[in-house]
Amino acid sequence: MGFITCFLLIVNLALVIGLDVVYWFVGWQFGATGVLGVIGFILGYMFSVEMSIAPRDFWWNTEFGVFLAKIGFAWKTALTLWGIGLLVLIILGYNPLW
C-alpha cells in the first residue's frame, strides 16, 4: 500500500507542477500564482491530518481512504491559492486573454 500511495502522491505533485509550467507559458504573473498553488499543495498535504481529518477517520476508513482525504485537502488548498492569486491579478488589471 505504501508504494501505491507514494506513487499517487508523486503523480499528483507532478500534475500540480505541470499546471504551473503551463501558467508560466501564459505569463510570469500567472506563473507566480502557480508557484503559490504548488506551495499550497505541499502545505495542504502536510497539514491535512491536523486540519481536516478527524481521529475517527483513522478507525473508520481504510489507509487508502485517509490518503484520498489528504490528497483532496491538498488539491483544495492549491486551487484556493491559485484562485486567490488569479483574483488579485484580475483586480490589478492584468488579463492576457483580453
* Beta carbons within 8 Å of 80's beta carbon, 6+ residues apart: 40
What pLDDT score does 98 carry?
A: 59
For residue 58, pLDDT beyond 80: no
The identity of residue 87, as a single letter, is: L
What pLDDT score does 94 carry?
A: 81
Residue 97, helix vs strand vs coil: coil
| Percent residues over pLDDT 90 in the chain | 44
Q: Identify the band that residue 42 occupies on the pLDDT scale cut at 50, 70 and 90.
A: very high
Contact of 36 with 88, CB cutoff 8 Å:
no
Report CA-CA distances (Å) from 91 to 1, 55, 94. Answer: 45, 40, 8
